[in-house]
A and B are shown apart, each in its own frame.
Chain A
Amino acid sequence: MFLFSCGQQANKQELKSENTQVEALSLTVDQLLEQAPELADQQVVVKGTVMHVCQQGGQRCFLMGSNEDITIRIEAGEKIGAFKQEQMGSELEIVGLLKEVKTEADAHNPGAEHGEMENAEDAETQEAHKILAENQEAAERVFFVEGVTVKEL
């Protein structure tokens, strides 16, 4: 019983500390990318317009900053499940863990899904994938967010 209570206490403290951190780090996509090296591996809140949702399953989406050259990939993860195509153009606020792409497993080549090309890709999707791939290539270090919660603004 004692251990159980202690465990709960610890969890509450952890949650409180996470919430404090969340409030402190609410950022636009532009701000997040500017501060990304310092914020890597921390929980962040980022707001932006959904520019693209991966067509097969919606496992990830891309939030756009002040223009379409400034984007960040958001992985839906288990808690969010999937993004919907209907969310394109919506303002989302994502709480998640900011991570840097260090391995092939972290990377996502827009246009490829689960290691396979989206064969039935239309011109608009190809264009979106081209922009996103160019953004990633232009960046010295690539970051993405592992989403935990999503809120439509």
Chain B
Amino acid sequence: MSPAEIINYFSSKNFEHVKIRKTLRILHRDLGYFIVGMTIVYVLSGIILNHRHDFNPDYKINIENFDVQAGTPQDYPRSRIEDVLDNLPYDLVYKKHYVNDEGLVKVFIESGELVIDPQEGKAVMRYLQRRPVFFEMNKLHKATLGTLWKWVSDIMAFILLFVAISGIFLLKGKRGFVRWGWWWMIAGFIVPLVFALLFI
């Protein structure tokens, strides 16, 4: 069947007669309702992830530079490090620490790290806080939850594709696909196509 024949078929009375259009309408409606939540997740996280080079989409990163008492790395055992953490305006939990070749005391804390330069008496702390809701949405979007979610999101994507394609055939007449919709559809293809041709 040529594309013109397919379009004619879907626009014909025969198509109405076999009630395909009605079935499509029902499926489009119900699956459309079903896919709203997933579409919101993908759209909102997609916008955030588009800007991932402007800011971290998953975490708010708090950085604090402050002075500590100068000395040697040995002056910073766990108890002293915990005192330093207690004086910072966050609820920080010590995990472990080590001293590197340059004499810096590197401290791992829950959701971050602290680097103390005992010789200079300087310290810098980096503490990460998850962005509520967006952290979870971004993980869903990036499909980094394991194999099961990969297949679930594939199915949801196919449903979204079905909703988009079935929408083409729902209306007939003056504002139907044949007399009106195809212009809009082609315009929608042209936008990404132009960018692909110019920038890829």
Contact = CB atoms under 8 A, between A and B. Distances in A.
A and B part of one assembly: yes
Interface string A89-100: 110000000000
A106 B112 CA distance: 28
Interface residues of A, number: 28
Contacts of A88: 108, 111-113
B106 interface: yes
Contact of B54 (A55, A76, A89, A119): A119
Contact of B144 (A58, A90, A127): A58
Contacts of B19: none
B103 to A, nearest CB: 13
Interface stretch (A1-9, A10-18, A77-85, A138-146): A77-85
B124 A124 contact: yes
Interface string B40-58: 0000000000001111111
What DSSP secondary structure best describes chain B's contact surface?
A: mixed
Interface string B88-120: 000000011010110000101111110100000
B139 interface: yes
Nearest to B111: A86
B188 interface: no
Given A89-B95, A123-B124, A56 B52 contact: yes
Interface of A: 49, 55-59, 67-69, 76, 78-82, 85-86, 88-90, 116, 118-120, 122-124, 127
Q: Which 10 A-B pairs have the closest CB atoms?
A: A89-B108, A82-B144, A89-B95, A81-B144, A119-B53, A124-B126, A86-B111, A85-B128, A81-B146, A81-B145
